[in-house]
Homo-oligomer: A and B are copies of this chain.
Amino acid sequence: MAKPLNIGLIGVGFMGRTHSNACNRLNNFFDSPYQPVLKVVCGLEADNPAAFAKQWGYEEHETDWRKVIERDDIDMVDICVPNNMHAEIAIAAAKAGKAILCEKPLALDSAQAEEMVAAVEQAGVPNLVSYNYRRVPAVTLAKQLIDEGRLGKVFHYRSLFLQDWTISAQVPQGGKNTWRLDVKTAGSGVTGDLLAHCIDTALWLNGSITDVSAMTETFIKQRKHAETGEMTDVGIDDACAFLCRFGNGSLGVFESTRYARGHKALYTLEVNGEHASLRWDLHDLHRLEYFDHRDDSTVRGWRSVHVTDHDMPYMKHWWVPGLQIGYEHTFVHQLADFLEAMDRGETCSPSFREALETQKICDAILSSGKSGQWQGTS
């Protein structure tokens, strides 16, 4: 019998929608120990939290996040606001003893992230950072294949995250849909927004990153600020690429941009091992490509694995083999795993502490981008 788990969601944007959807779908598909109850949603008055509450089925709505945290009947705080507010809310929620699900990146920088880790660990509250792409079934399958030792010694890891939505100089910075271009709100540009995903997955699949050398660029130097209406210097990185070395001796190459015409959300990764290689691509997220050198040489080739069979990660919960799921399902998987770990009193990955490692690498990247020097990550 699933126990009710009262949710307080803070943030009514794109991520607020994906998290609410996960709560609503969970028990239709997963035999979870908990039944999320959408108690309250909190958003800026301008963003109409009342309409959001109605759309998604929250019992109440609110404009002051502190009131959400003060409520005794809230079990879990779900943080879906812009990056600059994560720390304050998460620390307060931890002090109030709430379980916390926090959108990525964890914080504006690793100093902030350190405080957040301290807060949740001191409070002993369940905590998870929403690096949802780990839980694309094909990516989880990649992890499984690596853990089974199929690849052998890894030589190379490469990953891209390419978008094209800010090519026009008319796109403003700041404001509701474009806060990701405002460095004060976002902390950084593609590094925290996109590369952070690539790094989280890489750490999971391939272990620690020890050193980085980065190149950053801001192609459009000034944009109108949505709040002030004034042309203002752009402080974020529009594009960032970095080289790195992993603890296991392999080499990494990463690149991210919002100026790659033709790509909306092309997150790709490839891992080359001694015996086998694999690659994946968010634009066809239900496929994993796999090459195994141990196959007979006349029939050796990249296999396009349609990750829809029931013995593949998460898939038995959904439909029948051959029928694909999509982006939103990663958030359902994330919630299912978090609640199951919570019920068993275990840590769910990536915890705040794990996400801190990603944050440190992001800091090192941004620093290396400025200095032009290789930089250690610890």
Q: Total interface residues on A, using CB and 8 Å?
A: 96
Contact with B along A40-76 (1 / 0, CB 8 A): 0000000000000001110000000000000000000
**Centre residue among A261, A306, A373 by max chain B CB count within 10 A:** A261
User: Which residues of chain B are within 8 angstroms of A343 by Cβ–Cβ distance?
Assistant: none
User: Which residues of chain B are within 8 angstroms of A275 by Cβ–Cβ distance?
Assistant: 261
Is A338 part of the binding interface, using a Cβ–Cβ cutoff of 8 Å?
no
Is A328 part of the binding interface, using a Cβ–Cβ cutoff of 8 Å?
yes
Is A21 part of the binding interface, using a Cβ–Cβ cutoff of 8 Å?
yes
Question: What's the Cα separation between A289 and B257 when bound, in Å?
Answer: 20
User: Which residues of chain B are within 8 angstroms of A214 by Cβ–Cβ distance?
Assistant: 243
Question: What's the Cα separation between A295 and B318 when bound, in Å?
Answer: 23
Cβ-closest chain B residue relative to A265: B322
Is A312 part of the binding interface, using a Cβ–Cβ cutoff of 8 Å?
yes
Is A85 part of the binding interface, using a Cβ–Cβ cutoff of 8 Å?
no
Question: What's the Cα separation between A145 and B318 when bound, in Å?
Answer: 32
Contact between B239 and A215, CB atoms less than 8 A apart: no
Question: What's the Cα separation between A261 and B153 when bound, in Å?
Answer: 11
Contact between B305 and A299, CB atoms less than 8 A apart: yes
Contact between B306 and A301, CB atoms less than 8 A apart: yes
Is A176 part of the binding interface, using a Cβ–Cβ cutoff of 8 Å?
no
Q: Specify which of B165, B289, B293, B325 is in contact with A261 (CB 8 Å cutoff).
A: B293
Question: What's the Cα separation between A218 and B271 when bound, in Å?
Answer: 18
Chain A 240-258 interface residues, beta-carbon cutoff 8 Å to B: 241-243, 245, 249, 251, 253, 255, 257
- Distance in Å: Cβ of A53 to nearest Cβ of chain B: 12
Chain A 1-28 interface residues, beta-carbon cutoff 8 Å to B: 14, 17-18, 20-21, 24-25, 27-28
Is A274 part of the binding interface, using a Cβ–Cβ cutoff of 8 Å?
yes
Contact between B299 and A292, CB atoms less than 8 A apart: yes
Each complex incorporates copies of this chain amounting to 4
User: Which residues of chain B are within 8 angstroms of A14 by Cβ–Cβ distance?
Assistant: 319-320
Is A326 part of the binding interface, using a Cβ–Cβ cutoff of 8 Å?
yes
- Distance in Å: Cβ of A220 to nearest Cβ of chain B: 10
Stretch from A116-124, A279-287, A355-363 that touches the partner: A279-287
Is A91 part of the binding interface, using a Cβ–Cβ cutoff of 8 Å?
no
Stretch from A95-103, A155-163, A226-234 that touches the partner: A155-163
Question: What's the Cα separation between A20 and B27 when bound, in Å?
Answer: 13
**Centre residue among A158, A322, A374 by max chain B CB count within 10 A:** A322
Cβ-closest chain B residue relative to A300: B305
Contact between B24 and A299, CB atoms less than 8 A apart: no
User: Which residues of chain B are within 8 angstroms of A21 by Cβ–Cβ distance?
Assistant: 25, 28
18 residue pairs of the A-B complex, CB under 8 angstroms, read A28-B56, A28-B57, A156-B239, A156-B260, A158-B255, A259-B272, A261-B275, A261-B276, A261-B291, A264-B306, A284-B287, A297-B309, A298-B312, A301-B303, A301-B304, A301-B305, A302-B303, A372-B373
A20-B28, A259-B272, A284-B287 given; name 6 further pairs at CB < 8 Å. Answer: A18-B319, A145-B299, A243-B243, A283-B324, A324-B324, A326-B326
* 9 tightest Cβ-Cβ pairs between the two chains A and B: A264-B322, A265-B322, A262-B291, A301-B303, A301-B305, A323-B327, A155-B259, A326-B326, A262-B277
